[in-house]
Structure 1
């Protein structure tokens, strides 16, 4: 019996009759779900987003610094060029930031899209904020907006079959290219 058939048999035995949903099993995501590299409390003392700006831009993977927010590459990117726009202020919800921060984050998101378009020519973008642990925020204590460049067919079988994500460029090289083409 093939391993897949065995897994399906066990699932049916313990969960009843299989429904019509297909499932993609991604056990490598358990490190993320389990909280690997997440702060243990919600204070700014352990918050990586509060400490990144203390580093120089290359070491912190900071692409651009604004007055109220900064753009930084994601250490666990969904795609090459995945960056985040992060307010300097340690707040957890969008409703907690003032209009000046909202405006700067919006402008920086537009600038990020322009830089990514110039450097990487994506076919589209995912832009969003996950707020709160239940809302899917990896670091719920500090608000951050994801800007993820997308290409047709960019999701492939590697992460599922090989537990590997093919990333064609080093984060440091991507940071340098994006920083150089950031619009002012």
Structure 2
């Protein structure tokens, strides 16, 4: 097929998108390590605490919950706070688990603000797959730092997201500076 034929058919036409190759996201797209049922054995949030902190991107460990960097962050410094216990719904937490999740969330906010100057945060739990939970079988609280202009032209006009630092560097920085 000649180049002219391909372009007339609309196949292979150049577009205006830049490409940042992120092959590590294929595991996310394929649903790898995502529990298909409530089985704790398949759950990444159950597996992560068994790893060394650097390998699991764990920033802080508590007695009942831990803070971990999101492997697929919405924004730089995106953390999650997870109970160790495999449970899906916030209403299933014990009073002690709920308190520790809240305390670790506060500590994460203090730490990220001190380290990176975040000016705001989005906090939230997507409860259930229909509510947007990527891993609905294991409760996790998102802590997403925000800065003025962070939703700037790059995603809209540049059609690109930028992360200024490798995740292992961010994890080490947060772990060292943890406030709480």
User: What range is the shorter-chain TM-score in?
Assistant: 0.7 to 0.9
Q: Gapped runs of 5+ residues in structure 2? A: 1-9, 11-21
Say if 2:34 is the partner of 1:36: no
> 1:39/1:90 Cα in 2 relative to 1: closer, same or farther (>3 Å)?
same
Per the TM alignment, residue 42 of structure 1 is displaced from its structure 2 partner at its CA by: 2.5
1:131-167 CA distance string (max 9 Å, x none): 1001110100000000000012212344456653210
Give runs of aligned pairs for residues 115-154 of structure 1, distance below 5 A: 115-154=111-150
In the alignment, the residues of structure 1 paired with residue 57 and residue 45 of structure 2 have an alpha-carbon distance, to the nearest angstrom, of 12
Are residue 93 (structure 1) and residue 89 (structure 2) matched? yes
- Aligned counterpart in structure 1 of residue 98 of structure 2, from 95, 102, 119: 102
Distance 1:87 1:73 in 2: 14
Displacement of 1:32 in angstroms is 9.3
Displacement of 1:36: 2.9
SS of the aligned residue for 2:41 comes to coil
Give the TM-score, by structure 2 length.
0.80
Give the secondary-structure state (helix, strand or coil) at the position aligned to 1:45. Answer: helix
Count of residues paired in the alignment: 156
In structure 2, the residue matched to 1:3 is none
If the length of structure 1 is used for normalisation, what is the TM-score? 0.78
Q: Distance in 1 between matches of 2:28 and 2:42?
A: 19
* d(CA) in 2 for partners of 1:86, 1:73: 11
- Which deviates further from its counterpart, 150-159 or 75-84? 150-159
Where structure 1 has 5 or more consecutive residues not aligned to the other structure, the ranges are 1-5, 7-27
Cα distance between partner residues in 2 of 1:36 and 1:156: 30
> What is the aligned-residue RMSD (CA, Å)?
2.2
1:84 aligns with 2:80: yes
Residues 7-38 of structure 1: per-residue CA shift (max 9 Å, x gap): xxxxxxxxxxxxxxxxxxxxx9xx79965332
1:180 counterpart (161, 176, 179): 176
Deviation at 1:41, TM superposition (A): 2.6
Tell me the equivalent position of 1:67. 63
User: Hey, what does 1:10 align to over in structure 2?
Assistant: none
Residue aligned with 1:180, SS: helix
